[in-house]
A and B are shown apart, each in its own frame.
Chain A
């Protein structure tokens, strides 16, 4: 078989990165109080909820500004601003043009919106690797951001959260983390979907587990390690898509990663599932801590279904760049707890 890697002509890496998480938190026990009388376990401790004036565009803009601050480049050098999300504010009208204008990247820039459930952000990252790796551009920005929807009373209501992360891909010699390899593993597996015009998604209950999440992540992860000739112990950190606390811990164990390797990037317990931001907000938290030479393993998952896997090596440029923008845990720490009433208001569930 020919290589399954997506290999660019020239070596590329992450020049700058940034995250954003809204400040509101609803504890899962508060949601359980509404629907189960507070009985039974919950899949996370709490989740991040967007403010009334926040949406995928505003989340993407702040993450993008943080990425630019760390990269130390002017936005006019970007040749692409791509936003992956399943909660674009408009059905028709790009989120990416709003983001590109707000960060000062217009007008000589490629802009486009991506959609693949929770892996739209990593999909945009792989496209950016190609855009820069082919020589078409020196810098391209890929963003994954969401304000995810959960039907009141559904299992997803405990976890569907808001947040996002932005990455500027550029030549490897300027990178704070070099992308050593990546690949994508996709099949037509309908575990979760939202029809046009529907307010809330539908899902296949337990079908979202084995044939969807676990199959795609383990397949992508094992293929990438085979291609790279690596084992889990070769990586300092690993981060997987985080729909709840249990799934990423279990998939890490299945693949042979230890709890210590996934701890730094495992944010779902504190902020919920940020969908297109899930694995990559975790990656930003790892980059906030990582040391030069550390190797990072990243695997996203998007329902429908597929996984993108990445092998990164951190360079010495991380040291001078990471404190040029707020760290991801600083956003997580500015926490304002809300009750279900305020949650219903913030998420537009009240009829006036």
Chain B
């Protein structure tokens, strides 16, 4: 993808910004300007809270070229609290610790780099929810 393509996705990747349908109230991710629930125009921005749970997952050992550096990694379908199911990498978790139903939260991480001299691409991944109070 060229620079402009990455740039257009910056809100979506960095802040998990989707849309909310002004007609039926459905939350939409990724943004597509038409509500998948009721078919009406829907372009009101909505920033997702970034909480959800693992709906399903698979660990990738043979990767596309851009992701070789990161293998093995786990890709999950994450069901967000607001409803949509999105595809994302999990991070900060060992593959054998992942379970369906595991609560996860969004973090911003490096997705890949376009070689040594190209862009560094950042975006959302999910990790097991950190407890709010330590010790």
Contact = CB atoms under 8 A, between A and B. Distances in A.
Interface of A: 23, 51-55, 57-58, 61-62, 89-90, 98, 101-104, 288, 323-331, 333-334
Interface stretch (B23-31, B78-86, B103-111): B103-111
B64 interface: no
B57 interface: no
A132 B122 CA distance: 30
Interface residues of B, number: 23
B122 A102 contact: yes
A60 B64 CA distance: 28
B135 A327 contact: yes
Nearest to B125: A53
Contacts of A23: 92
Interface in B1-37: 10-11, 14-15
Nearest to B111: A53
B contact patch SS: mixed
A25 B10 CA distance: 32
B14 A98 contact: yes
A25 B125 CA distance: 21
Given A23-B92, A58-B110, A62-B108, A326 B130 contact: yes
Contacts of B110: 52-55, 58
B120 interface: yes
A98 B135 contact: no
A89 B120 contact: yes
B108 A102 contact: yes
Given A53-B125, A54-B109, A101 B15 contact: yes
Nearest to A104: B15
B47 interface: yes
B18 to A, nearest CB: 14
Interface string B37-63: 000000000010000000000000000
A109 to B, nearest CB: 14
25 contacts: A23-B92, A51-B92, A51-B109, A52-B69, A53-B70, A53-B91, A53-B109, A54-B109, A55-B110, A55-B120, A58-B109, A58-B110, A62-B107, A101-B11, A102-B108, A103-B15, A104-B47, A288-B134, A324-B132, A325-B132, A326-B131, A327-B133, A327-B134, A330-B133, A330-B134
A61 B108 contact: yes
Given A90-B120, A101-B15, A333 B134 contact: yes
Contacts of A62: 107-108
Can you list the 3 inter-chain pairs with the closest CB atoms, starting with the nearest? A330-B134, A327-B134, A53-B109
A76 to B, nearest CB: 11
A143 to B, nearest CB: 14
A101 B125 CA distance: 16
Contacts of A54: 109-110
Nearest to B112: A53
Contacts of A51: 91-92, 109
Contacts of B134: 288, 326-331, 333
A279 to B, nearest CB: 20
B125 A330 contact: no
Contacts of B135: 327, 329-330, 333
